[in-house]
Amino acid sequence: MVFVDPESLPSQQQELAEYQLHENTLTDAGYLSFLNRLVDCMLPHLTFPAPSLLDYGSGPCQALAHLFARHGYHTDCFDPLFGPFEIPAKHYDIITATESIEHFHQPAKEWHRWMTLLKPGGWLGIMTKRVISADKFAQWHYKNDPTHVSFFSVETFTWLAQQHHLNVIFPQRDIVLMQKPEQ
């Protein structure tokens, strides 16, 4: 794992200003296609009756919730900058985080929160570009976004899975799925 020095983390106002430069909307077919790759990876795991879903870091247009709604699933949303600002007091069968984990200032705290919110047998779906090597990281454009402050590798996700007894699969180059064991 690679992370930014805590003294260099952007403020919430700086993050919001950067995000407002993005033009991700529900009418952007490319953006929806990009996000739909995670939806397609998650759909086979929606085997629960009336599954509960949470999109963690849902952004201003809550696009993933709209994509899941096309398949008949309601998704609760949480985003610390755009709202909703509170997570309902319940547990989830599915938690998704598309292009949000790299923004975590305190990834261990957020990870613990996910493990608390995720039901036994539930799935965590994360979409983020991964660190490949130190050499490639030095040349990597992804790290130049000032709001990207935590970077994960296959080894990091594998270690996290081992620490929390999760099953882990890497279905695509920027997607990781983890399943919490049944009780």
> Domain map of the chain by residue range?
10-102+111-147+164-179
Question: Per-residue pLDDT tens for 41-87?
Answer: 999 999 878 899 999 999 999 999 999 999 999 999 999 999 999 99
pLDDT at 69: 96
Q: What is the pLDDT of residue 72?
A: 94
Contact between 93 and 125 (Cβ < 8 Å): no
The DSSP secondary structure of 145-158, one letter per residue, reads STT--EE-BHHHHH
Confidence class for position 167, pLDDT limits 50, 70, 90: very high
Tell me, which fold does domain 10-102+111-147+164-179 have in CATH? Rossmann fold (3.40.50)
Token digits of residue 9: 């983390």
Q: What is the maximum alpha-carbon separation in the chain? A: 46
Structure tokens at 169: 């699969």
Buried b (16+ CB within 10 A) or exposed e, 46-73: beeeebbbbbbbbbebbbbbebbeeeeb
Predicted confidence at residue 145, as pLDDT, reads: 80
Q: Give me the percent of the chain exceeding a pLDDT of 70.
A: 100
Lowest mean pLDDT across 43-47, 76-80, 137-141, 165-169: 137-141
Question: In the chain, which residue ranges form alpha helices assigned H by DSSP?
Answer: 12-19, 29-42, 63-69, 107-117, 134-139, 154-163
